[in-house]
């Protein structure tokens, strides 16, 4: 049986050089980075080197990078402290954000009584920028939280436009960039976001490590207490090997970005063309079928399959060795749809199965052929 991994938006295969780096650090640099002896200083030096490397790729100062356990923690750190410590009374977001943002905002609303506004969406899933601008006309201290790339449909936010709108209206801007860091070059001197979240395992690094970009003098306070690690913003003994891993992963990815991105784009375009030819009634959800309007790493397709047959689609794909993600939960027996697709699809299309396929440098054209052939057979 073939094995095809098309679920790279969920997590990616770790690069060999990252594994080599991690294992070497685990073997040689096991000192606690908070210890003052040579073993600790050695670990601390690796952490600070990683911080400087990551900061250089984003064109920020090293002190603005705070290592976390991943994107979820980074989002929580920013959102909770913004309300608790910075006096934010109003958050503007969208209904298609990652749950790390939506659930945190809902909890903050319950805890602190903040107001929450949801920006209108176009039928293709893009935000209504004019409505966003209108929502910023408020006397309340406001923070905007909008993701750079949607993790389900791949739509790309005009992050620079939003940053400029926020700056013009004296509003804070946080962006979950988990699906874009490592896949796009981001210059945070040109794009004036205040806060940004990233996660290593989305760009061929280890799980369990990410970072928050926190623009200097923001006033943010720690979410996790108990030590002075990460300049007092994130207590807990640092995971030195993972932090080294995220540095090596980002360095490898960005140093090879043009070549690798072109290759992945060719895979996505080939997949789009094959689907259009072999399953012409399939629909690309959001803007995922448009390489200019969505990330080059994923597509989300709604298949012309009746609900009863849709219930076994993911099971059948798994039997064929194909790993992907559901875009609509109907076919898995769940009573709830994807919150993203619920906002943009018709009731009729929500009854059909939607599947997200996401690509990496480790995928091939032959794998695309195999997956489309399996889908075509199932549809027919």
Alpha helices in 69-207 (DSSP H): 71-84, 99-112, 129-135, 159-168
Contact 275, 302 (CB under 8 A): no
Which candidate in 166, 287, 324, 330 is catalytic? 330
Helix (H) or strand (E) holding 271: helix 257-278
330 tagged catalytic = yes
Q: Give the integer Cα–Cα distance in Å for 325 and 162.
A: 29
Q: What is the dihedral of CA 71, 165, 151, 311, to 10 degrees?
A: 130
CA distance 18 to 4: 22
What does the block give as tokens for 120?
């209108």
With 0-12 CB in 10 A as exposed, 13-18 as middle and 19+ as buried, what is 110?
A: exposed
Going by C-alpha positions, the residue among 284, 364, 275 that lies closest to residue 327 is 284
Nearest residue to 12 (alpha-carbon basis) of 265, 246, 175: 246
CA–CA distance, 90 with 171 (Å, rounded to integer) = 10
Please give the structure tokens belonging to residue 71.
Answer: 């994107």
Residues with a known catalytic role? 330
């Amino acid at each position: 049986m073939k094995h095809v991994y098309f679920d790279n938006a969920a997590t990616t295969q770790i690069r060999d050089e990252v594994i080599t780096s991690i294992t070497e650090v685990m073997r040689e640099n096991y000192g606690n980075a908070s210890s003052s002896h040579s073993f600790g200083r050695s670990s601390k030096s690796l952490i600070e080197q990683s911080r400087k490397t990551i900061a250089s790729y984003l064109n920020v100062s090293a002190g603005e990078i705070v290592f976390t356990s991943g994107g979820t923690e980074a989002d929580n750190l920013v959102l909770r402290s913004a309300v608790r410590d910075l006096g934010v009374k109003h958050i503007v977001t969208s209904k298609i954000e990652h749950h790390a943002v939506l659930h945190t905002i809902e909890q903050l609303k319950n805890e602190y009584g903040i107001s929450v506004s949801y920006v209108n969406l176009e039928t293709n899933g893009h935000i209504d920028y004019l409505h966003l601008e209108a929502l910023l006309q408020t006397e309340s201290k406001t923070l905007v939280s909008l993701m750079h790339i949607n993790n389900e449909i791949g739509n790309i936010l005009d992050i620079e436009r939003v940053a400029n709108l926020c700056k013009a209206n004296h509003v804070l801007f946080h962006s979950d960039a988990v699906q874009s860091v490592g896949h796009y070059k981001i210059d945070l001197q040109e794009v004036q976001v205040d806060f940004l979240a990233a996660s290593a395992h989305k760009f061929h690094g280890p799980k369990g490590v990410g970072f928050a970009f926190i623009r200097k003098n923001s006033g943010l306070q720690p979410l996790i207490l108990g030590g002075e690690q990460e300049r007092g913003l994130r207590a807990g003994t640092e995971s030195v090997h993972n932090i080294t891993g995220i540095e090596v992963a980002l360095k490898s990815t960005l140093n090879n970005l043009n070549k690798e991105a072109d290759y992945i784009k060719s895979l996505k375009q080939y997949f789009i063309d094959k689907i259009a030819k072999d399953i012409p009634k399939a629909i690309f959800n959001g803007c995922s079928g448009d390489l200019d309007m969505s990330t080059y790493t994923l597509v989300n397709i709604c298949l012309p399959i009746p609900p009863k047959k849709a219930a076994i689609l993911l099971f059948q794909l798994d039997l064929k060795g194909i790993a992907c993600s559901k875009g609509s939960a109907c076919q898995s027996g769940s009573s709830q749809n994807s919150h993203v697709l619920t906002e943009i699809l018709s009731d009729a299309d929500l009854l059909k199965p939607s599947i997200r396929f996401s690509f990496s440098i480790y995928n091939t054209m032959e794998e695309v052929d195999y997956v489309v052939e399996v889908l075509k057979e199932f549809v027919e």
